[in-house]
Chains A and B, each alone.
Chain A
Amino acid sequence: MIQAIVFLPLLAALVAGLGQRAIGPFASKLVTTGALFTSCALSWPIFLSFVMGTGEAEVVTVLHWVSSGALQFNWELRVDTLTAVMLVVITTVSALVHLYSWGYMEEDPDQPRFFAYLSLFTFAMLMLVTADNLVQMFFGWEGVGLASYLLIGFWYKKPSANAAAIKAFVVNRVGDLGFMLGIFGTFLVFGTVSIPEILAAAPGMAGSTITFMGMRLDTMTILCLLLFIGAMGKSAQLGLHTWLPDAMEGPTPVSALIHAATMVTAGVFMVCRLSPMFETAPIALGVVTFVGAATCLFAATVGTTQWDIKRVIAYSTCSQLGYMFFAAGVGAYGAAMFHLFTHAFFKALLFLGAGSVIHAMHHEQDMRYYGGLRKHIPLTYWAMLAGTLAITGVGIAGVAGFAGFHSKDGILEAAFAAGGGGVIAFWVGIFAALLTSFYSWRLVFLTFYGKPRWEQSEHIQHAVHDDHGHGHDDHGHAPKADGDGTAGYHPHESPLSMLIPLGVLSLGAVFAGFIFAHPFIYPEEGKAFWAGSIAFDEHLMHLAHEVPTWVKWTPFTVMAIGLFLAWNSYIRNTTLPARFVAQFKLLHQFLYNKWYFDELYNILFVKPAFAIGRFFWKRGDEGTIDRFGPDGAAALVAGGTRLAVRLQSGYVYGYAFVMLLGLVGLASWAMVNFL
């Protein structure tokens, strides 16, 4: 069964991708979407069997892959609780995104290619989460990277999309450098790349030391840190995050599937999968906590200033991933996975909802030109509202709440309970939660409330003035007089294929936390549910549930403050933001320009790489090696210019060649007679 779940998407991708001309676009879409819904239908029973406690972990070997000396690994599919959680997340979101794309990509001429890429991505992601050895995990890791590259650059005629695609791939490769070195080191130390064997042997290695790059280091710390660098790349953590906001150049369904729900969580998955290993390296865990908390804060601050609706959600994703990492860092792997699980639903919902808004607003993505959309696209509005309630963590402590309430509060409580660095992470997380609430509600208010500000949008103007050449004729009644800010434009609610996924994900955003909190993060039930697939710390989860009441209520309080601030700035007193920006110009510039990471990297890495490359080429190869090497030798042998002339006519090298042959003959003769 697991083979079907994993390989159906691959098969569908091949059929749709290679056979699109034979079977046509409709069949291509049908095949891929059908395959994903089948995979999804097969995955849920597996997940539920683990929830019920009847699931059995198993490993299915598909094919031998490599054996080289002591190094052996296979293509194999592992199913345990951790995998099962990822299976449902991946297949569900992917199936819904496939369906959604029927509507969203309707006018695109390259649909079969798009669907083939989506299915290919899903296959790679499934290979990643079913990996039983580090190398197959790396296969999936790179496979999703490829699919992400292809999908970010899907509109390959746009220079910005191409640049973003390359950036995503190359920045991820920086992380992969760490991942690869981590695998090498792990093999060197443990003599295997099989994950269960490594995890079993890891405690025995605690306290040992190893030399790495000339430094004497604690073995487990350096291995975990190297692997974590890989996780940082894929999960866009501070320092290696710069590709994620740019990745929004891809079509919105891609952002929902890859850059929110699944691929970017691969790093969190990796840390959880290897959690028994990380448990032996407290320093590495401290770094994980620190990086997670820093990312969480950084991305949230940037998110408050962005105008592009997708970029706000992208920074929000980055920030939420930070939560997951610091949860893992303090040892609350169950909470990290729980947030990954709920986040997949509500963040996919937010992205798909944003896509629906963008679809309605004729590809306008700037929130400055939105406003008042609540009445025009009510279903989208309700879906976005559900997503926002989920991400901001609305809920009553001890009773029930939206999905993010259960998972985010779980993380914050665990961080507080863990003590030490966890308490710092807790406060950072609280502050980030305030910002989260602010930017999430800011998005909702700017988009759905207030008066329409559409007339300033070029996209909308095009739509109106192009005289409805884009299939919006059915809404195209006589443009009304200006003055209401609509420019006579009529946004239209999305088709059913887009609304159904929004509906399903809304259910997830509302109920996923409440329903699944027990198995994921409650001490006893969690222990039974995870069944050793992660290093579930029962004791820590006990402590987390017994934190003081004020700790439980603080997240709710800051959420309310954020909501109030957003309401105050964007509904009650709409001139406030502009005044604030004028007052704190430097701060705003700093945040709006994303802490100037891109500019910094450009100066530090990109430009020097090209400059040094040019220097090596012109000054090194041509200016030194050739000059004193072959060219110099030629000049020396025959005295400069005379030779150059002959060289042109091609005689000299002919002579030299005959000379060589003569030499070979002579030497052979000498050898034969002489020896």
Chain B
Amino acid sequence: MSGFPILSLMLAVPLVAAILCLYAGDRNARMIALVATLIDFALGVVLWANFDIGGAQWQFVERADLFGRFSYKLGIDGMALMLIMLSVFLMPLCILASWDAIKQRVGLYMAMFLIMEVVMIGVFMAQDLLLFYIFFEAGLIPMYFIIGIWGGANRKYAAFKFFLYTLLGSVLMLIAMIAMIAEAGTTDIPTLLNYDFPVEMQTWLWLAFFASLAVKMPMWPVHTWLPDAHVQAPTAGSMILAGVLLKLGAYGFIRFMMPMFPDASAQLMWLVFGLSMVAVVYTSLVALVQNDMKKLIAYSSVAHMAIVTAGLFAFNQQGIEGALIIMLSHGVVSAALFFCVGVIYDRLHTREIDRYGGLAVNMPAYALFFMLFTMASIGLPGTSGFVGEFLSLLGIYEASSVVAFVCTTGIILGAAYMLYLYRRVVFGELTKDDVKAMPDLNPREWAIMAPLAAVALWMGVYPESFLAPMRSDVTTVVARLAPAKPAGDAHLAAGKPKPAAAHGENAHGSSHAGGVQ
């Protein structure tokens, strides 16, 4: 594979297809989009198959110098690979999900999705800071149009809110990036990753990045754009928003903030932990009282993302790997849950939970898939949700038992709001006539549900497939953070019998030395 510009090809395929879609008729546009996204998925599989696990950190590197310091430089590591796989996997499913639901301006819609794919995988591939920024912010544009044009009744308010939130953070991040380039004299991300910024400067850069990334995550209290955006977005828009766009924030944390500003990350760890703890409890409780299915799942996303941020800032292998697995798992499962909402929305055109009930009778296949994804969202062992949640919470515990305790209460509340939702939609007596008339899944819907279900189970039973490519990258980040890492709150002290205590001490890392606080 060496030398073949596969990453550029993956960017080019949807880009070309997007242009074609603009000029093709409605039916052709659908087909073009589907074929293009499937080709990209196939390329992704090739990419994964050729990725050398345990090899060089950056693989498939391409570089073309443009003007000034700005260069077109692509390359991926294991974390980027997995997130690219998530994107190219979800894309064809999103196109299929929009197949019948979108009837107006289909060509434009498909073009927007394809452009979205370009910028999403571009974010994960970019190795130049400026290139990254362009992709990162450009991701807003197609999403903005998808909500604004094909959204629900209140789409303009939602699009505006989405925009306003992200604008503020973006500007701060851009300023921070300019400062970084001025200080380090390069835009090359791998170089920046090993550049030691002065500690006091790190704090400011960290805060500027945080302003942008916290909105993207979204973290409490800048999360309120998400429920509105989800509610108004068309089904596929919600799928990709929850599936991939929400992961950009966390990707920014692990790619930039933590390795580039390790001291600031350690100093401000309390801020991230604090906001995450609030988010888990607060948004879970809010999810409990929602009447709108999409809002409920949107709030649950905020709670899940809070465990991601807390897991990342645990600064250890389990916490970070767990957070990454939650990102992948949540990408699959929340996309699937939004699709589950979409399936019945297409039939009854309401998201109101109380309008449904008793679907287990006339839609048994749907009920089964919905149950599986509900369980995956709750984090039932054997599904993808468990592995990520377990690892990250375990990592968090090593850092702080208090944070772990508060975050773990999310498993109780998560079960409560998801099962309560499921009960109201699927169980109960089938009484309403229009609900009775709803047919079970059609083949197209099966084709979307089945792969999502398969991946959710695969990730739960054999997560090694997903952990292995990312392992050395996480180790690198952990090593980078090690000098700044504060000691956990456990302070295990040996009692009378000495020998075993040493064993326990070894177990949770020798990195206790040299805390900054």
A residues whose Cβ falls under 8 Å from a Cβ of B = 63-71, 75, 135, 138-139, 141-143, 146, 149, 153, 156-157, 159, 162, 165-166, 169-170, 173-174, 176-177, 180-181, 183-185, 187-192, 201, 203-214, 219, 609-610, 612-614, 616-617, 620-622, 625-626, 629-630, 633-634, 647-648, 650, 652-653, 656-657, 660, 663-664, 667-668, 670-673, 675
Q: Are B221 and A625 in contact (CB under 8 A)?
A: yes
A157 to B287, CA, bound (A): 24
Q: Check B289–A188 contact: CB distance below 8 A.
A: no
CB <8 Å contact, A647 and B397:
no
User: What separation, in Å, do the CA atoms of A219 and B289 have in the docked complex?
Assistant: 39
Would you call B464 and A616 a contact (CB within 8 A)?
no
Q: Are A204 and B394 in contact (CB under 8 A)?
A: no
Interchain CB contact under 8 A, B507 and A68: no
Q: Give B residues with C-beta under 8 Å from A.
A: 67-70, 130, 133-134, 137, 141, 144, 148, 156-157, 159-161, 163-165, 167, 170-171, 174-175, 178, 181-182, 185, 221-222, 224-225, 227, 282, 285-290, 316-318, 321-322, 358, 360-361, 375, 380-382, 386-387, 390-391, 393-394, 397-398, 401-402, 404-405, 408-409, 411-413, 415-416, 419-420, 423, 426-430, 461-464, 467, 471, 488-497, 499-501, 503-504, 506-509
| Contact, CB under 8 Å: A613 / B171 | no
Decide yes or no: A66 and B501 within 8 Å by CB, A170-B412, A630-B164 being known contacts: no
CB <8 Å contact, A68 and B467: yes
Residues of chain B within 8 A (CB-CB) of A190 are 503-504, 507
Whether the Cβ atoms of A177 and B467 lie closer than 8 Å is no
- What residues on A are CB-neighbors of B390 within 8 Å? 135, 180
A-B contact list, 7 entries, CB within 8 Å: A64-B462, A65-B463, A157-B430, A180-B393, A613-B285, A664-B133, A667-B174
Most buried by A among B159, B170, B398, B507: B507
B224 near A211: Cβ-Cβ < 8 Å: no
Q: Select from chain B the residue with minimum beta-carbon distance to A611.
A: B289
Contact partner, A66, options B402, B427, B464, Cβ 8 Å? B464
Measured CA separation A177–B397 after assembly (Å):
13
Q: Would A180 and B408 count as touching, CB distance under 8 A?
A: yes
* B498 to chain A: closest residue by CB: A204
How close is B453's CB to chain A, nearest CB, in angstroms? 11
With A63-B461, A146-B375, A159-B428 known as contacts, the answer to whether A208 contacts B380 (CB < 8 A) is: no
A70 to B317, CA, bound (A): 9
Give A138 to B461 CA distance when docked, in angstroms: 14
Instruction: Identify which of A170, A205, A206 contacts B504 (C-beta below 8 A).
Output: A205
For residue B402, which residues in chain A have a CB less than 8 angstroms away from its CB? 213-214
Whether the pair A63, B412 counts as a contact (CB closer than 8 A) is no
Dominant secondary structure at the B interface: helix
- Taking A621-B224, A630-B164 as known contacts, 14 extra A-B pairs with beta carbons closer than 8 A to each other, sorted by chain A number, are A66-B391, A66-B467, A69-B316, A71-B318, A142-B386, A159-B428, A174-B412, A181-B404, A184-B394, A205-B495, A207-B497, A208-B495, A609-B416, A660-B167
Contacts of B225 in A (CB 8 A): 630
Establish whether residues B68 and A672, one from each chain, have CB atoms under 8 Å apart when the complex forms. Answer: yes
A141-B134 Cα distance, complex, nearest whole Å: 47
Min CB distance B33 to A, Å, is 24
Q: How far in angstroms is the closest Cβ of chain A from B343?
A: 19
Q: Is the CB of A139 within 8 A of B398?
A: no
Once the chains bind, are A616 and B495 in contact (CB under 8 Å)?
no
Alpha-carbon separation in the docked complex, A622 to B157 (Å): 14
Cβ A189 vs Cβ B174 within 8 A? no
Q: Are the CB atoms of B419 and A166 closer together than 8 Å?
A: yes
Of all chain A residues, the one with the shortest Cβ separation from B400 is A213
One of B170, B471, B490 near A211 (C-beta < 8 A):
B490
Q: Which of A138, A157, A165, A176 has the most CB of B within 10 A?
A: A157
Q: List 5 tightest A-B contacts by C-beta distance, closest first.
A: A191-B507, A207-B495, A204-B500, A69-B317, A613-B285
Given contacts A183-B394, A630-B225, contact A610 B288 (CB under 8 A): yes
Q: Do B504 and A653 touch (CB < 8 A)?
A: no
Contacts of B508 in A (CB 8 A): 70, 188, 191
CA distance A268 to B426 in the complex (A): 35
From A68, A213, A650, A670, give the contact of B148 (CB < 8 A): A650
Residues of B contacting A208 with CB < 8 Å?
492-495, 501, 504
Q: How far is the CA of A574 from the CA of B461 in the complex (A)?
A: 59
B397 — nearest CB in chain A belongs to which residue?
Answer: A184
Residues of chain B contacted by A610 (CB below 8 angstroms): 288-289
B112 to chain A, nearest CB (A): 15
Partner of B427, one of A153, A169, A612: A153
A162-B427, A166-B416, A673-B68 in contact; A650/B156 too (CB < 8 A)?
yes
Report chain A residues within 8 Å CB of B509.
Answer: 70
Q: How far is the CB of A206 from chain B (nearest CB, A)?
A: 6
**A507 to B273 alpha-carbon distance, docked (Å):** 58
* Contact in complex: B497, A204 (CB < 8 Å): yes
CA distance A192 to B500 in the complex (A): 13
Shortest Cβ distance from A243 into chain B, in angstroms?
A: 12
Contact across chains for B130 and A671 when beta carbons are under 8 A apart? yes
List residues of chain B with CB within 8 A of the CB of A66: 387, 391, 463-464, 467
Residues on A with C-beta less than 8 A from B493 are: 208-210
State A184–B321 Cα separation when bound (angstroms): 15
B224 touches A191 (CB 8 A): no
List B contacts of A191 (CB < 8 A): 503-504, 506-508
In the complex, what distance in Å separates the CA atom of A138 from the CA atom of B290?
30
**Is A664's CB under 8 angstroms from B174's CB?**
yes
Least Cβ–Cβ distance between B177 and chain A, in angstroms:
8
In the assembled complex, the CB of B305 is this many whole angstroms from the nearest CB of chain A, namely: 16
Q: Given A616-B285, A653-B159, answer yes or no on A205-B375 (Cβ-Cβ < 8 Å).
A: no
Residue of A nearest to B426 (CB): A156
Determine if B286 and A613 form an interchain contact, defined as CB atoms under 8 angstroms apart: yes
- Contacts A647-B156, A667-B174; is A657 near B144 (CB within 8 Å)? yes
Structural contact, B405 and A213, CB atoms closer than 8 A: yes
Which residue of B is nearest A70, CB measured? B507
Q: Give every chain B residue within 8 A of A652 (Cβ-Cβ).
A: 160
Distance in angstroms from A431 CB to nearest chain B CB is 34
**Contact at B507–A143, with CB atoms within 8 Å?**
no
Docked complex Cα distance between A620 and B198 (Å): 38
Complex contact A177–B412 (CB within 8 A): yes
**Cβ distance A26 to chain B, nearest Cβ, rounded Å:** 19
If the complex has contacts A166-B423, A657-B163, are A173 and B500 also in contact, measured as CB distance less than 8 A? no
Closest approach, in angstroms, between the C-beta of A498 and any C-beta of chain B? 27
Distance from B431 Cβ to chain A, minimum over Cβ atoms (Å): 10
The interface residues of chain B lying within 8 Å CB-to-CB of A670 are 178
* Residue numbers in A under 8 Å from B382 (CB-CB): 139, 142-143
Cα(A369)–Cα(B488), bound, Å = 62
When C-beta atoms are compared, the residue in chain B nearest to A75 turns out to be: B461
B412-A671 in contact (CB<8A): no
Q: Is the CB of A648 within 8 A of B156?
A: yes
**Chain B: minimal CB distance from A495 (Å):** 28
Candidates A177, A205, A621, A673; contact of B286 at CB < 8 Å: A621
> Chain B residues with Cβ under 8 A from A176's Cβ?
411-412
Distance, CA A184 to CA B400, complexed state (A): 11
Contacts of A183 in B (CB 8 A): 394
Complex interface: chain A residues within 8 A of B133 (CB): 664
Contacting pair A668 B130 (CB below 8 A) = yes
B318 touches which of A69, A647, A675 (Cβ 8 Å): A69
Q: Tell me which residues across on chain A come within 8 A of B164, comparing CB atoms.
A: 630, 633-634, 653, 656
Cα-based distance from A181 to B68 in the complex (angstroms):
53
The answer to whether B317 touches A68 (Cβ under 8 A) is yes
B415 A187 Cβ-Cβ under 8 A: no
Residue of A nearest to B409 (CB): A177
Q: Are B381 and A138 in contact (CB under 8 A)?
A: yes
Distance between Cα atoms of A664 and B224 in the complex (Å): 25
A174, A214, A616, A670 — most chain B CB neighbours (10 Å): A616
User: Which of these, B175, B290, B394, B490, contacts A210 with CB under 8 Å?
Assistant: B490
A609–B397 CB distance below 8 A? no
- Most chain A beta-carbon contacts within 10 A, residue among B287, B321, B360, B492: B492
Is the CB–CB distance between B165 and A187 below 8 Å? Answer: no
| Chain B min CB distance to A536 (Å) | 23
